[in-house]
Amino acid sequence: MSAGLLQQMLIGALLGLSVYLPLRCGQLSLATPGFFAIGGTVAALLSTRIPAFAGTGATSPLPALLLEMGLGGLLAALLAWAIGGTVLRLRGIYLAIATIALVEILRVITLNLPFTGGALGIFGIPQPFATASGYAGFTLVLLALVCWLCARLEQLRLGRAMAAIRDDELAATCVGIDTAAVKLNAFVLSALLAGLTGALAAHFLNSWNAKVGSFDASITTLAFVVFGGSRTWLGPVIGGLVLTALPELLRPVGDLRLIVFGLVILLGPVLFPQGLITPQALQGLGHGLVGLGQQLRGYGHQLLERANGPRRP
């Protein structure tokens, strides 16, 4: 596996987590690619227009990248915060459609603004890392950090409130959870994550255009979560890694690869309605590991006994 593919997979995992956050409180938002596109556009504009961001050496300075990620994420989060209040009143399929519309509106705006390069987009985005492995290393650290935060979130009050809303919104309201605020938090966090991932992806891809945030991307990122499972943070991570790698791994079957990809998306929900990774599966795996450990310890004792001879009374 090349470092370039690994980098794409890691970005897939980050986007999967961005879709997962609203879904954890039962909100089907497909807006992630729109926020991803915003982050990337911010990074592409800053680093190609402002000399300080491009730097003078062979690679652009790392602090500039971090600043762009921060600004891209912040802008996406601000937009999410501004529209979240009204959009999140919608439920189920209506929210999904509204967020598809948002992504499409953002795409048309990017396409028509005078400074975003139209259909061709922005080219020659400076590189903070000389190699793909540099990117992959950085993104791996970022993903680990985000995973740790998500795992923490699931234990925290906010994370548990999110799960309560997903299971029963009315009941959650009745026990005193401010459901509107919790949903807005999840939506804003999702946008923040997608925005900063976009800033990173723009550098890695070297060029950025309006096509990045399209309906196709909405569905692909949703597929990450549905495929991996939306009950725990590990699901979307695995889904993002596997489904991003799949079309590349299927390259040997040539023209058939997108058809096979379609088959996976078609059959995935039919065969695994809960997704691949569920808490039950993890628990089962955990029990399995503990059992395996105990068995190994037993073998160890036996071996020791054989080596040392029978114990003296």
By CB under 8 A, name the binding residues for another protein.
Answer: 28, 86-87, 89-91, 93-94, 96-98, 100-102, 104-105, 108-109, 111-112, 170, 215-216, 219, 222-223, 226, 255-256, 258-259, 261-270, 273
The distance of closest approach from Cβ of residue 286 to another protein in the complex, given in angstroms and rounded to an integer, is 26
The distance of closest approach from Cβ of residue 95 to another protein in the complex, given in angstroms and rounded to an integer, is 9
- Would you say 160 or 166 has its CB closer to another protein? 166
Q: How many whole angstroms from its chain centre is CA 5?
A: 16
The distance of closest approach from Cβ of residue 6 to another protein in the complex, given in angstroms and rounded to an integer, is 24
User: Using an 8 Å Cβ cutoff, are 240 and 16 in contact?
Assistant: yes
CA 84, CA 93: separation in Å to the nearest integer? 16
- Would you say 158 or 264 has its CB closer to another protein? 264
The distance of closest approach from Cβ of residue 243 to another protein in the complex, given in angstroms and rounded to an integer, is 11
- Would you say 102 or 142 has its CB closer to another protein? 102
Across 294-308, b (16+ Cβ under 10 Å) vs e yields: eeeeeeeeeeeeeee
- Would you say 56 or 86 has its CB closer to another protein? 86
- Would you say 38 or 96 has its CB closer to another protein? 96
Q: How many whole angstroms from its chain centre is CA 4?
A: 17
The distance of closest approach from Cβ of residue 250 to another protein in the complex, given in angstroms and rounded to an integer, is 12
Q: Where are the alpha helices (DSSP H) in the chain?
A: 3-24, 32-49, 51-54, 62-87, 92-112, 132-155, 157-167, 169-174, 179-205, 215-228, 234-249, 257-271, 279-308
Paired strand residues for 35: none
- Would you say 104 or 154 has its CB closer to another protein? 104
CA 285, CA 287: separation in Å to the nearest integer? 5
Tokens 């009950």 correspond to 231
- Would you say 63 or 92 has its CB closer to another protein? 92
Q: For residue 177, count CB atoms less than 10 angstroms from its CB and return exposed for 0-12, middle for 13-18, buried for 19 or more.
A: buried
Q: Euclidean distance between the first and final Cα of the chain, in Å?
A: 57
The distance of closest approach from Cβ of residue 246 to another protein in the complex, given in angstroms and rounded to an integer, is 12
The distance of closest approach from Cβ of residue 272 to another protein in the complex, given in angstroms and rounded to an integer, is 10
